[in-house]
A and B are shown apart, each in its own frame.
Chain A
Amino acid sequence: MEKKDVIIVGGGPAGLAAAVELHKLGITDILILERERNLGGILRQCIHDGFGLTRFRESLSGPEYARRFIDQVVERNIPHLTEAMVIDITSDRRVTVSTREGILEFQAGAVVLAMGCRERTRGAVGIPGNRPAGIWTAGVAQSYINLHNTMVGREAVILGSGDIGMIMARRLTLEGARVKAVFELMPYGSGLPRNIQQCLEDYGIPLFLSHTITDIKGRSRLEGVTVAQVDENLQAIPGTEKDWTCDTLILSVGLIPENELSLAAGVVLDSRTRGPVVDENYQTNVAGIFAAGNVLQVHDLVDFVSLEAENLAGSVARFVRENRLPECGIGIRGDSSILHTIPQRISAASDFVLSLRVRRPFRNCEVRITQGGKTIKTVALAKAIPAEMIRIPIKASALSGTGTLEVAVL
């Protein structure tokens, strides 16, 4: 069985950034495994701009953003296999890969999980009605239009105001389809404010908050949907139903970290992020298995995916050299205002970046981090919304060696 210092599962933004950073740190016995024909991950189909504003201070398209990292992988001769699907990872870091040339088996010193996420589906959210052609998740529709030169329909409505859904509202409009409306279950948008402006308002596409689809019509091809307002318990209000004719329904109802391989390796998941529980080194409960990017937590911007993966690289390099990392025995707990935090465990001996999302929108609020009743850090924010990740650097010098860190928004 061939040995590798580091195997990176996934050649999207997280995997690429981790690989380049590891290489910079002198770890060169790396292998990136990518199931697609080309590196770049989901960025390949994201032909709109707006990527890289934080990281490169310029607005790039998805393929351009990916290219910056792919070029470095190529320049540095970082080994990568495409059309290579990882089919198993064990807790002792044996990695099995399926390719057209055969089954490959590797023993890895460390494994970086960078598989990204998948879209929540109609079945998962339980939308009633018929099951005709013409219903797609936003990412699938995006793939058809941008990668397969295939138009999915002419008259669309969109359920869910996730970022990809709003981007597809604009994309469909630009390709001549009529996008009639976007319906969002929550009383606030679930995607970024800039996408509400640039993808919906700029094109005159109405966004209806607190609305949901209660019926789907048409037996062969979609003919229309029934939409109703919802009450504060998110239940449809009888009498508010309205029919919308359309031949296409796009769903943008959430993303789920893709952790089937992680589970095979014995990695414990967090029920809130649905990604692995990690420590400040991005190490999972399984020694030598690390995770970053959307497989760990669904990010708002790819820039932060890259940053997270680069941070992970330092820990992985240290693990490869020293075969162990410091104990992380201190937990982090969010109160009811917090959707989740990453990491979930720290050592209190190193600086780290706490990333979190809030459960509902706040204005003029303060994120407060305490330990044993003592305030470690407070950050004042004009607004905090679930759509945007909040990242807070914490200094080790402020922390005590015992006691759970408590995070709250006030």
Chain B
Amino acid sequence: MPENWDVIIIGAGVVGCAIARELSRYRLRIGVLEKEMDVACGNSSRNSGVLHAGFTYRKGSLKALCCVEGNREFEVVAEELGVPFKRSGKLVVGFTDKDRASLERFKAVGEGNGVVGLELVDKKRLNELDSSAGGEFAMYSPSSGILDPMVYTLALAENATQNGAIFLFDREVTGISRRDGLYELATPTETFTTRWVVNAAGMNCARVSSMLGIHGYTIRGFKGEYIILDKKAGVFLNMPVYPAPNEKGGFATHATPTVHGNVLIGPDSYVTEDFGDFSVTKKQMDGLVTDGLRMFAQVKREYFIRNFAGIRPKLVDPATGEILDFVCEARAEAPNTINLVGIESPGLTSALPLARRAVALMAEKEKLLANPAFNPRRQAAPRFGEQDIEGKKKLIREDPDYGEIICRCETVTKAEILQAIRNPLGVRTVSAIKNRTRATMGRCQGGYCETRIAALIQEETGCRVTDVLLNQKDSRMFSGRVRE
């Protein structure tokens, strides 16, 4: 670990990881400090996984510019990083005249932003596009897509690591001071000295901004809950189905297929003061079913697998409550810092465009030297479940661990679990294995495979049974051995 860093990025969400990846094109000592135990523990993984087209954002706004730019390039990005992606298209459906007016308005906004292919469709065409979708008419957005936000963030982080960036987890930045032209970042265990600081702290962006000496930002947490449906429901849904947006461009509960074949119902939206509260509630769950059924006919209890919640960190004008644009700035009062504030939806789509803007702001201050070893490609390990029969045979011939299926619901083999435990970021929690392999994500929710994964983590890392963590720092799974 270097004693002096060139850049420290605070936050390993999708934006922090994208910045780390884009900065790794240059000869810099890059560190990423993350308070949680893995990447994408906040809103980067707690969203619908949609590559947005950009038809609800004000023309010329950073949201509109980054979203459209990020949308256009994603085939290339997905190919480079080896991540699943589908340009599925999206339906924004309406029922009333008011909805129709809304769709017409946002079609015009989208066209103004450079979104291509937007089309108002009647009920017949709507049914052809997706026979399970609700609504009487719709706006069809062919350039919208779906991706796995967790895997995308991981891929950015792993590619950054390949190119020399260093990720450090369980390092919450508690204070920032500036001395002799360098920043000192305090964490509970160590102090980091760096020339540059990037604030990509997501939910905590306003707090970190204040630590940098940039005051006055107000973040409001808009919490939303989701229900995950079984792949048995997924076969009915071709593309995301959203209700017509409200006047501010906000969407209510929608139905979104995932790249893996499940369906997400949500999110709803309510304000929360507690930015760490990802609990779900009966009232909201019931509401998701009612609202979800308007979008997608297969919201049935027999398909429910799991619930989760996310919190969108919206930058607001505290006087009016108005939701403001993304901020990506280099301010004079905090030299050598890049400050990203209020990055919420469409943050996933916008991550790389925002990262390029952050790099450009740095490049205005100093000449960045190309990293000659930079490789933009990340090789994803083959997935047994996605191979045809000959591909499966070949994998097992090369490594018999591919023949041993650990997670039955998602067809994940021992070979894939071991690769995940040996991941380049060095994360060893049970959730890390889940997020890297999909093991435990199926309908039995780990009923068959969790015991095996816990055993493999202990075998591979040599850790004690009491040191096996579910996800967070103190999330110990086990209290000890039954018999020593």
User: Which residues of A come within 8 Å of B, CB atoms?
Assistant: 35, 83, 85, 87, 96, 98-103, 118-119, 121-124, 126, 128-134, 137, 139-140, 143-145, 147-154, 175, 214-216, 219-221, 236, 247, 260
Contacts and interface: CB of A to CB of B under 8 A. Distances in A.
B403 A102 contact: yes
Given A83-B404, A140-B447, A130 B278 contact: yes
Contact of B476 (A83, A118, A133, A139): A133
B281 A128 contact: yes
A137 B409 CA distance: 17
10 contacts: A99-B403, A101-B396, A121-B305, A121-B306, A123-B304, A123-B445, A130-B279, A133-B469, A133-B476, A145-B482
B397 interface: yes
Interface in B283-326: 285, 301, 304-308
The 9 closest A-B pairs by CB, nearest first: A123-B306, A133-B470, A220-B474, A220-B475, A100-B400, A100-B403, A133-B475, A121-B445, A220-B472
B481 A149 contact: yes
A247 B479 CA distance: 10
Contact of B397 (A102, A131, A153, A175): A102
Contacts of B471: 133, 220
Contact of A103 (B285, B305, B396, B472): B396
Contacts of B474: 220-221
B467 to A, nearest CB: 12
A102 B446 contact: no
B392 A103 contact: yes
* A152, A175, A219 interface centre (most CB from chain B within 10 Å): A219
Given A128-B279, A144-B451, A220-B474, A101 B403 contact: yes
Contacts of A131: 278-279, 308
**Chief secondary structure at chain A's binding surface:** mixed
B305 A126 contact: no
A102 B477 CA distance: 34
* B282, B396, B409, B411 interface centre (most CB from chain A within 10 Å): B282
Contact of A140 (B397, B400, B446, B476): B446
Contacts of A35: 405, 408
A140 B450 contact: yes
B451 A143 contact: yes
Contacts of B304: 123-124, 126
A144 B451 CA distance: 6
Contacts of A100: 396, 400-401, 403-404
A101 B400 contact: yes
A381 B462 CA distance: 57
A144 B478 contact: yes
Contacts of B404: 83, 98, 100
Contacts of B279: 128-131, 215-216
B403 A126 contact: no
A129 B396 contact: no
Given A101-B403, A148-B451, A129 B476 contact: no
B424 interface: no
Interface of B: 227-228, 276, 278-282, 285, 301, 304-308, 389, 392-393, 396-397, 400-401, 403-405, 408-409, 411, 413, 443-448, 450-451, 454-455, 465, 469-483
Contacts of A129: 279-280
B451 A147 contact: yes
* A35, A133, A134, A247 interface centre (most CB from chain B within 10 Å): A133
A101 B401 CA distance: 9
Nearest to B308: A131
A235 to B, nearest CB: 9
Contacts of A126: 227, 282, 285, 301, 304, 307
Given A87-B405, A153-B478, 18 more contacts: A98-B403, A100-B403, A102-B403, A118-B443, A121-B305, A123-B228, A124-B301, A124-B305, A126-B307, A128-B280, A130-B278, A131-B279, A133-B475, A133-B476, A145-B482, A175-B482, A220-B475, A221-B474
Contacts of A121: 305-306, 443-445, 447
B445 A122 contact: yes
A98 B455 contact: no
Contact of B470 (A83, A103, A128, A132): A132
B474 to A, nearest CB: 4
**Chief secondary structure at chain B's binding surface:** mixed
A119 B230 CA distance: 15
Contacts of B469: 133
B482 A149 contact: yes
A406 to B, nearest CB: 27
Contacts of A219: 276, 278, 472
Given A126-B285, A128-B285, A216-B279, A118 B447 contact: yes
Contacts of B392: 98, 103
A394 B397 CA distance: 53
Contacts of B409: 260
Given A96-B389, A100-B403, A148 B305 contact: no
B345 to A, nearest CB: 22
A396 to B, nearest CB: 36
A98 B405 contact: yes
Contact of B479 (A122, A152, A215): A152
B76 to A, nearest CB: 34
Contacts of A83: 404
A214 B282 contact: yes
Given A35-B408, A121-B445, A214-B282, A152 B478 contact: yes
A196 B268 CA distance: 41
A145 B480 CA distance: 10
B476 A103 contact: no
A118 B482 CA distance: 25
A309 to B, nearest CB: 22
Nearest to A125: B304
Contacts of B472: 219-220
A90 to B, nearest CB: 12
Given A87-B405, A100-B396, A216-B279, A119 B482 contact: no
Contact of B393 (A87, A103, A247): A103
Nearest to A123: B306
Contacts of A124: 301, 304-305
Contacts of B401: 100
* B285, B301, B392, B478 interface centre (most CB from chain A within 10 Å): B478
Contacts of A137: 447
Contacts of B478: 144, 150-153
B461 to A, nearest CB: 15
